[in-house]
A and B are shown apart, each in its own frame.
Chain A
Amino acid sequence: MRTELTASLSPARSRNEAYHVALVGPTAEVEDLQIAGRSYRYGSDTVVSERVGVQGVSEYVEGLGGRALAAALIVADDGSIPAALRVLRSRPDLARTRVYLLSRTPGHLQLPPDEDPDIEAVLDLTHLTPGELGETIENAVRAYRALGTNPLIPQYYLDAKYNKIFDWFETTKWDWREVDLCQIQRHLLTEEEIAILQESAIIEFGTLPGAHNFLREWSDEYSFSSWALSWGAEEARHSLVQSRYLREIGINIKAKHAMYKREPYPMGEKRTATLMMNIISESRAAEYYKTLSRLTREPVLKKIWKLLGRDESRHARAFFVFCKELCDLSDENTAAALQMAYVWLADRSRGVKHPAGFFYPHSTSTKGLRRMEQYAPAMTDTADRKVLAMIRNILGDESVQSVQDLKRELRARVA
């Protein structure tokens, strides 16, 4: 077989950012591929293909010294699993490396059912065209890059945290049939409650940029990202149900308020910090809604605010689950969460912080949050006590009872 790589793999300019591709097999077979020992450009990446003898895989991998082995194309011509594949798959640090088997009798290749060699494909070496070989290498590099280095990605899809909390969320979601807007008793509403209801509907418009940012910040995984979609779907109902309630009593929320919050806010630098910010804002929102529900005499609004309070409380706990998962990985993650907690819990000098107001000074939400806080001042303290309980859980330290204790903890961590 004589092959040439496709034009998409043009000659490389540099080996500095190279992805390596190992061609493993008998010399004659590998040399027939005509790509061994050459460098190519693939998009902005350099791909270096290297010939590796059947017995030399361990030595070759050691020689790479941690450089990216994107793929291994292994000749498997005797119908059994090549020893080179077992060598590669015995090393956790090469789990990302994509493996393709090349065989002249692919139909006869026996893969043992009790092994999981994570093979991308078995290619027919006899009929492999240059174009197919080029595409295989391109796809291998893309697949390698897509797998990324996120340490929380499990081997099996369902082992992710998202699967563990999905049922909890599905079974506790409220149903629109629980809210009968025809039963509103307008005369039981106060003007203050109506004003708060309007602000609350507007504050909830922060969901869209929030979801947008979550997906950007967690672009290298699927677990939290999948949950963020559930979160966004639930939060989007909060604006809707309150806006619909308002329309029932003759008040229409202007679309401009939703548009004011379309602009994504700055992406966080540390995920645990972002999660902690949301633990706090959800905890506070939960307490606000629960308090508002207790105080209003209008039964439909009481029901709505109660449901929303329960939602926000569930959200806070889910953010906590994901935050703790990351904090368990490193002290650096924990420190970032604690720093954010201190900044958001200790500083009420310009009113209680919440992303809906904090990032959108051109919206009315900052004033709206201040109005809610003043309406029932103790509720923020109640919410923040719950946040401190979550922080104690993250730290495994019961001594952190106040923001001052939190700062003591932070001070002890300063290098």
Chain B
Amino acid sequence: MNDISCEVYRIISEMFGVSREQLQPELPIRSIPNVESIKVLNVILKVEKLFDVEIPDEATFRTETIGEFDQLVQNLCAQRTVSAALL
């Protein structure tokens, strides 16, 4: 698990008040204990702020599992790095 994943899982763990061990990549986001849309949005806003990325609206609500969300953030961070290198 790289640094980005560590931060993604940390933010999810803190937002929903569940231990890091409970958050497996295949766990559906809707199955996280205490899940609700506003908390999911707050995870997204914190991740966006931390990594300076923008998660598309459609991805915000269609990402099924924690692993998919983590991968999405990884991809967006990679794109941001490439864009910065091209400038």
Binding site for B on A (CB under 8 A): 273, 336, 339-340, 342-343, 346-347, 349, 403-404, 407, 410-411, 414
- Contact call A346/B38, Cβ cutoff below 8 A: no
On chain A, the residues within 8 Å of B41 by CB distance are: 339, 342-343, 410
Q: How far is the CA of A46 from the CA of B72 in the complex (A)?
A: 55
- Contact call A343/B45, Cβ cutoff below 8 A: no
On chain A, the residues within 8 Å of B49 by CB distance are: 411, 414
6 tightest A-B contacts by CB? A347-B61, A343-B37, A414-B49, A346-B57, A349-B61, A414-B45
* Main secondary structure on A side of the interface with B: helix
Binding site for A on B (CB under 8 A): 37-38, 41-42, 45-46, 48-49, 54, 57-58, 60-62
- Contact call B37/A407, Cβ cutoff below 8 A: no
- Contact call A347/B48, Cβ cutoff below 8 A: no
Q: How far is the CA of A190 from the CA of B86 in the complex (A)?
A: 59
On chain B, the residues within 8 Å of A346 by CB distance are: 57, 60-61
Q: How far is the CA of A4 from the CA of B61 in the complex (A)?
A: 65
On chain B, the residues within 8 Å of A414 by CB distance are: 42, 45-46, 48-49
On chain B, the residues within 8 Å of A349 by CB distance are: 58, 61-62
- Contact call B60/A410, Cβ cutoff below 8 A: no
* 12 more CB-based (< 8 A) A-B contacts, given A349-B61, A407-B54: A336-B38, A339-B42, A343-B41, A346-B57, A347-B57, A403-B57, A404-B57, A410-B41, A411-B45, A414-B42, A414-B45, A414-B48
**A291 to B: closest C-beta gap in Å:** 25
On chain A, the residues within 8 Å of B57 by CB distance are: 346-347, 403-404, 407
**A265 to B: closest C-beta gap in Å:** 12
**A380 to B: closest C-beta gap in Å:** 15
On chain B, the residues within 8 Å of A273 by CB distance are: 38
Q: How far is the CA of A411 from the CA of B58 in the complex (A)?
A: 17
